Amino acid sequence: MKTQTCDFGYLASPDSGSGPYPGIVLIHDVWGLAEHSRDLARRVADEGYHVLAIDLYRNLAQKKIEDPGSFIRNLSDPDLLADISAAARFLREHPDSKNRKVAVVGFCMGGMYALLAGCEPDDGIAAVVPFYGLLSYSHGLLHSDQGLEPQRKPREPIVAAKDLRCPMLAFFGEEDSFITAEDVAALEASTKATGQPAECVVYPGAGHAFMNDTREEAYRPEAARDAWGKMLAFLAAQLGDSP
């Protein structure tokens, strides 16, 4: 496997010489581009993909996170979505993935941005896989009694979902304290109306961050294994061999 840093973050790709490979933009959780995200990138690359684990915070002046909800509320969705779009374009032009399809995979906050990226117009993203992506700005972790700044948070993910423009496979834990069953049902209803292939998989006994094997209290091995297998099958079907 080849790994290296780049202006966007961390790159991982197979070293078999049989590329170019389909591209994956992998988006970290609220805590940033940590070793967990790099490990996920390497694992996906092992399956035959050119993976860019993007560092969404690399240009931020203030990166200290004391309150995750407040931190995310103050991020600019349009700016970060533009960054994800640029990252996808970077992969499409890179020799290791040149002219191949690109998907976006994200976790927690990254899952939220993966979903939003799939709802952007004409962005060239072939598929999205949000893992326990935050869905609502009107309640829960991202709610503010003072309201959110419209320029930074123009529309919440479950509203944007009506504009889904590519296939989606989303994963949630039934016991996730940040994402309600009602929000998941609303996501399913919104994406169904788009005509795009879209599925939400909900795991009983799992909560938020069930894929994170660095957090013993959150990690659910059975759910993680099942979700990983489903994700790989979905990516293979959606990215295929053609540009």
Query: Confidence class of residue 135 from pLDDT cuts 50, 70 and 90?
Result: very high
Q: What is the pLDDT of residues 12-67, one digit of tens each?
A: 999 877 889 999 999 999 999 999 999 999 999 999 999 999 999 998 877 789 99
pTM for the predicted model, two decimal places: 0.96
Q: Distance between alpha carbon 186 and the CA centroid of its chain, in Å?
A: 19
CA 141 vs CA 57, 63, 70, 81, 178: distances in Å: 20, 19, 8, 20, 6
Could you give the CA distance from residue 210 to residue 203 in angstroms, rounded to a whole number? 9
- Looking at residues 153-166, what average pLDDT do you find? 96
Res. 202: pLDDT tops 60? yes
Provide the pairing of β-strand 102-107 with 50-54: unpaired
Going from N- to C-terminal start, the domains of the chain cover 2-239
Res. 225: pLDDT tops 70? yes
- Tell me the residue type at 118: G
- pLDDT mean across residues, the chain: 95
Q: Are 103 and 24 in contact (CB under 8 A)?
A: yes
- Looking at residues 167-187, what average pLDDT do you find? 97
Q: What is the pLDDT of residue 243?
A: 47
Provide the pairing of β-strand 198-203 with 168-173: parallel
SS3 state at 30: coil
The CATH class for the domain spanning 2-239 reads: alpha beta
